[in-house]
Amino acid sequence: MTIIELRNIYRKKLNLSHNECDFIYKIILEELCSIDPIKIALDPHCIINQDSKKIILDSLDPISKNYPIDYLINKKNFYGYDFYVNEDVLIPRPETEELVQWVLEDNININKSKKLIDLCSGSGCIGITIYKENKNMDVTLSDVSEKALEICNKNKIKLASNVKTIKLDLNSKFLPQNKYDIIVSNPPYLSPNEANEIGKNVKYEPETALFAPSNDPLHYYKRIIEFALINLNKKGQIYLEINPVFIKDFNQLLSDFNLNDVNFRDDFRGKKRLVKVSF
């Protein structure tokens, strides 16, 4: 079967526009079959070998069921770096790149090491990117999920990052640990009520990394602040990705903890999604 015949099968089988089908087809060719997509134009009658043909055809079923292409190819680009991802971790989002950018902007001229912990690390994309962009950062990745920590360690090696990984449960009792200068986190913050409003492909991502308790949507932010009160150095900062839906409640939470040095930022969609709290 030729490369163009397989492309036409994609166009026929997937309920998408030709441009969308072609985009996905090219990704499958390049990432899973090591075939340069330019062959579609330069050599449309190129015969695809049986192994690659099977991979291409087998990918149709999960794609038709909205399975994330990032999980299919086990890769997601974040801030210019290719991270390994699978169903054990969230797929990094562009909003989170803006959180990373804020941390980097604020620490661009530091000439001594700062200790940073990334809480709820998932794939490790936040902490590893910060380390890659600023080697003065002493970065620790943490997560409650053993499987997520395995992915963190895989990405640590893949991206040659001298970061630490630890298991940390935000629902456990906090004890004084290493003191940190910066806490950064994109914790579970969606309400279960929002499940029907998010994309169909999100159903394949780990629920524990997406959803906060239904009766306490700010649960993890409260726990992060409590962690900070014990383990954050004086004049330290917390950088968070938050749910714009609960901004009023979040402000009340800050007030309950008597935290006043607070700055918010809108994401690229104009939603109040990022916050920095200075102690």
CATH at 108: 3.40.50.150
Does residue 73 lie in a domain region? Answer: no
Task: Please determine, for residue 195, whether its predicted confidence score (pLDDT) is greater than 90.
Answer: no
pLDDT at position 144 is 96
Q: Which of 127-136, 187-196, 246-255 has the lowest mean pLDDT?
A: 187-196
Same domain, 227 and 102: yes
Same domain, 56 and 82: no
Same domain, 34 and 132: no
Task: Please determine, for residue 261, whether its predicted confidence score (pLDDT) is greater than 70.
Answer: yes
d(CA 11, CA 118): 42
Does residue 19 lie in a domain region? Answer: yes
Does residue 123 lie in a domain region? Answer: yes
Same domain, 112 and 210: yes
pTM for this model (two decimals) = 0.94
With cut-offs at 50, 70 and 90, classify the pLDDT of residue 221: very high
Q: Which of 63, 75, 71, 70 is nearest to 16 (CA)?
A: 63
Rg of the chain (C-alpha set): 21
Same domain, 156 and 238: yes
pLDDT at position 174 is 85
pLDDT at position 176 is 76
Per the structure, how many domains does the chain have?
2
Same domain, 93 and 33: no
Same domain, 221 and 84: yes
Does residue 71 lie in a domain region? Answer: no
d(CA 117, CA 126): 10
Per-residue pLDDT tens for 85-123?
999 999 999 999 999 999 999 999 888 899 999 999 999
Domain encompassing residue 50: 3-65
Same domain, 57 and 95: no
Does residue 252 lie in a domain region? Answer: yes
Task: Please determine, for residue 196, whether its predicted confidence score (pLDDT) is greater than 70.
Answer: no
pLDDT at position 197 is 66
Per-residue pLDDT tens for 133-160?
999 999 999 999 999 999 999 999 999 9
Does residue 70 lie in a domain region? Answer: no
Same domain, 61 and 105: no
Same domain, 93 and 207: yes
Same domain, 227 and 265: yes
Inter-residue contact 89 to 206 (CB < 8 Å): yes
Task: Please determine, for residue 199, whether its predicted confidence score (pLDDT) is greater than 80.
Answer: no
Region 169-186 average pLDDT: 91
d(CA 122, CA 34): 28
